[in-house]
Structure 1
């Protein structure tokens, strides 16, 4: 069980990194907000909701050019993003890409 907790913590850290990536991009942020239905000032509160961080990773995974750019900029393999999404609450959709 300790390993699962550790992998969830690692997945959360990766998702926070992905959220920062999305938030800093003037094209991605409006698209993310439109898809999620939240407003920019609600992100901090929404980030504490179950499934939000998995949703951030699923947003990245849903668009291959975004996934590849995130991977290139962070050094995180695309497959790791998929594993992290599944390690988070409500993140069990199968979006893993082979890398």
Structure 2
């Protein structure tokens, strides 16, 4: 998938998504449960390659969550998909390698 989004733009959107998630008492426990990350370890984990792509994957995997985020932030769902592919860990080209 081609994207016109820069890595910096993608990171900014992913950080916005992470901030939204961290402030939501319903979403945060679900995210922590699915990822196995402890709440106190999020800042450290956010520095790891692929973590921000994982945050976007969390939204993209559940349409109601994606739409809620987009509605409350004025984001376009397609932007999250583009951001995912612009981030380390968000390019699925490794699936086609054999």
The TM tier, using the shorter chain, reads 0.7 to 0.9
> How much does 1:15 deviate?
0.2
Corresponding residue of 1:86: 85
**Count of paired positions:** 89
Structure 2: unaligned runs, 5 residues or longer: 93-98
Deviations 1:28-84 (A, max 9, x none): 100100111110000000000000000000001110001001111111100000000
How much does 1:92 deviate? 2.0
Equivalent in the alignment of 2:62:
63
CA separation in 2, counterparts of 1:12 and 1:55? 12
Query: TM-score by structure 2 length?
Result: 0.87
TM-score by length of 1: 0.86
Looking at structure 2, the residues matched to 92 and 61 of structure 1 have their Cα atoms a distance apart, in angstroms, of 14
**How far did residue 25 of structure 1 move?**
0.8
Question: Which structure 1 residue ranges, 5 or more long, are not aligned?
Answer: 94-99
1:18 matched to 2:12? The reply is no
Higher relative contact order (CA 8 A, sep 6+): 2
**Root mean square deviation of aligned Cα:** 1.3
